[in-house]
Amino acid sequence: MTKVISENPKISLQDIKQFEQEYDVTLPQQYIAFLLEYNGGYPHESSFQISDDEGESLINKFYGLGQMKSNLGKVFEILEGEIPEGFISIANDPAGNEILLGVSEEFHGKVYFWIHDIEPEDEMDNMFILANSFDEFFSNLY
């Protein structure tokens, strides 16, 4: 499993519950465990495959909770109305694309890549599924 370098302060389950309540989302347990251990940060292995056509990208950083510059709350507010409902952004790549985590029933726990500069005809035309769970996505980083 990849290591993550994080200078973000440790958080508690109460901090996560407060975020979930404030933004009306239910985070998957695997992602909650990641936040409790790392609270965002920079992964050592950061590359991942988007698709055969789109190639690969890499994680710039995972967002955390707290007062850091790019935190989950700020990113949620900035992207509200931009990304489809039922998703939150948990990380970005150097080109400004986002790694999304499903928080609605249909997509709960699934990880997607959202390309910001493709104008979709249908709501999810600019999204590519990366993994069926956060742990699967995280363990597939190379």
**Where do the structural domains in the chain lie, given as residue ranges?**
4-139
What pLDDT digit, counting tens, does each position of 100-109 carry? 999 999 999 9
* CATH assignment of 4-139, among 3.40.228.10, 3.40.718.10, 3.40.50.300, 3.40.1580.10: 3.40.1580.10
Question: What b/e sequence results for 30-43 when a residue is b if at least 16 CB atoms lie within 10 Å of its CB, and e otherwise?
Answer: ebbebbeebbbbbb
Helix (H, G, I), strand (E, B) or coil at 110: coil
Mean pLDDT of the chain: 94
Q: What is the mean pLDDT of residues 106-127?
A: 85
Q: Which pLDDT tens digit goes with each residue over 39-64? A: 999 999 999 999 999 999 999 999 99
Residues 6+ apart with CB under 8 A from 101: 27, 28, 31, 87, 88, 89, 90, 109, 110, 111, 112, 134
DSSP one-letter code for 33: H
CA distance 9 to 94: 24
